[in-house]
A and B are shown apart, each in its own frame.
Chain A
Amino acid sequence: MRVVAVAVNTFRETIRDRILGVILLFALAMIVASLWLASISLGQEDRMIKDFGLLAISVFGLIVAAFVAANLVRKEVEKRTVFIIFSKPVSRSEFIWGKFLGLAATMLAVLAGMTVFLFALAWFVDKSPSGSLLVAGLLIYLQLLVVMAVTMLFATMTSAILASVWGICVYVAGQLSHNVLSMAHAGHAGSAHVMSALVFYVVPNLSAVDIRAAVVGEGAVARSSLLGWGVYLIAYLVVALLIATAIFRRKEF
């Protein structure tokens, strides 16, 4: 269970990192700030807190996913802790998967903390619990797992900062996936159609389910579409990590 050993080690190291604590504090401050926004919203406190609270969770979760995931691999290479790891009977794939699982556990702790805090805040303001917020938190977590996997993939090939930037770009592009689909179906000729289709399949579809829109009442989300999307995201991150492992196997230190 070397994967578990690497995962536990990664979890310990990242959860104790003060940068994470600072990011979490800012996220909680932003959620509380949404209370102030809610107070000037003419009776729409419930909607404002949920919408801006989930936005804060997404943004800060994205910062953690992109920057921490990128550093996870690069830092080990740059600081040469990989020499210590790979001088022991640990395979490259065990290392990558262990790192990912450890960070996934960290991200779960961070996101769960923020989501529960937001849930309690919304309950306090609205005087009734909003289960959809907890579901939204879980879906944001799945999105960010994909961003983490993609960022780790880039980190096996390039510097930490570039990998982080790419990770954020993939998140933004993933939010526009439905537009790419429209372009692919718009009847453009030849290469434009092929390019659109290629981009549509390669970039993760992070907008298939509109989490925040559903929470603030702009449409409902069917359970079956949630399940399908969840399976899609998990398959996507598995592919990203398999490619990352294949690249990492070829790396020399």
Chain B
Amino acid sequence: MRRARAIAAAAVLVVCVGVIVAYQATRPAVAAPNPVVFVPSPSFYRNFSPSARASVADVYWLYAIQYYGEHLNSDRRLDSLPALIRLVTTLSPHFKEAYFFGSFSMLDVGRPDVAYALLQQGFKANPGDWRFPFYLGFFAYTFATGAHKDAVAAQWYEKAARLPGVPPFVSRLAAEMATKGNERQTAVDLWTQVYVQGDKYAQQKAVTALDALLPKDKIAREKAVAGLEASVPRAMFAQFVADLFKGYQ
């Protein structure tokens, strides 16, 4: 009698576990994404302590990354991303990577103006970080229109060059802007630094841009890339080359 009950209990257990596994296995792999999501206003959190605001910023940071990855691979609509990034950076003004990621992700939706404004906000909160004026110069040079864009870019690079910890190439860029040197070469230099400094999404964009700027001929491309070796850290150079020569024999 006891044995029969034990067998019955085990059978029920197996059936229930089977139901659980089967149900979960049949869930859709990717939920249908809604590009418009609710993002609370930063003022909602103004009464939280700075520690709590930083933690909330981190949660929304993770959410923003998931949101970006989800929509980039599907409908390519990032309607709520500016609000998410604004929330993260308002709650955690020194979270610099959020500004950089946010600004480059705006390029995916053709909004370099939003990216520019975000970087300006970031530079205001972090005036000692050379990367902000550097990227501001990059965005001004690459995406701005009008006669004064080079001058504006040059001003940003000069500001960057005066900040502590700035690499030497920034001064060179500032000089290039000022002398209106080879524009193509300047663009290559800029995108190379985006590759070096940026996260994986920025690197993808840099590779796409460099692919368009560099010579298509393999030998010419090799020569051009060799000229960039001094600008790329040794540990990254092999991957840099591999990315630029994808599809080449």
Contacts and interface: CB of A to CB of B under 8 A. Distances in A.
Contact of B97 (A37, A42, A179, A219): A42
B94 A219 contact: yes
B200 interface: yes
B65 interface: yes
5 contacts: A42-B101, A42-B200, A42-B201, A207-B51, A219-B50
B90 to A, nearest CB: 12
B8 to A, nearest CB: 32
Residue in B47, B54, B65, B94 with the greatest tally of chain A CB atoms within 10 Å: B54
A40 B55 contact: no
Contacts of B92: 216, 218
Contact of A47 (B52, B58, B65, B66): B58
B62 A210 contact: no
Given A47-B95, A51-B54, 20 more contacts: A40-B66, A41-B62, A43-B97, A47-B58, A51-B55, A176-B49, A211-B51, A212-B54, A212-B55, A213-B49, A213-B51, A213-B53, A216-B58, A216-B95, A217-B95, A218-B53, A218-B54, A218-B94, A218-B95, A219-B50
A48 B49 contact: no
B243 interface: no
A43 B52 CA distance: 21
A55 interface: yes
A101 B111 CA distance: 60
B62 A37 contact: yes
A85 to B, nearest CB: 40
B51 A212 contact: yes
Contacts of B101: 42
Interface string A209-231: 01111001111000000000000
A246 B2 CA distance: 59
A95 interface: no
Interface string B94-121: 1101000100000000000000000000
Interface of A: 37, 40-44, 47-48, 51-52, 55, 175-176, 178-179, 207, 210-213, 216-219
Contacts of A52: 55, 58
Interface of B: 47-55, 58, 61-62, 65-66, 92-95, 97, 101, 199-201
A37 B66 CA distance: 11
Nearest to A58: B51
Contacts of A43: 97, 199-200
Nearest to B201: A42
B47 A40 contact: no
The 8 closest A-B pairs by CB, nearest first: A212-B51, A213-B50, A210-B50, A207-B49, A213-B51, A210-B51, A213-B54, A179-B47
Contact of A44 (B51, B61, B66): B61
A48 B47 CA distance: 22
A217 B101 CA distance: 18
A245 B170 CA distance: 67
B104 to A, nearest CB: 11
Residue in A41, A47, A213, A217 with the greatest tally of chain B CB atoms within 10 Å: A213
Contacts of A212: 51, 54-55
A172 to B, nearest CB: 10
A12 B167 CA distance: 58
B61 A41 contact: yes
A216 B92 CA distance: 10
Residue in A37, A40, A178, A212 with the greatest tally of chain B CB atoms within 10 Å: A212
Contacts of A175: 48-49, 52
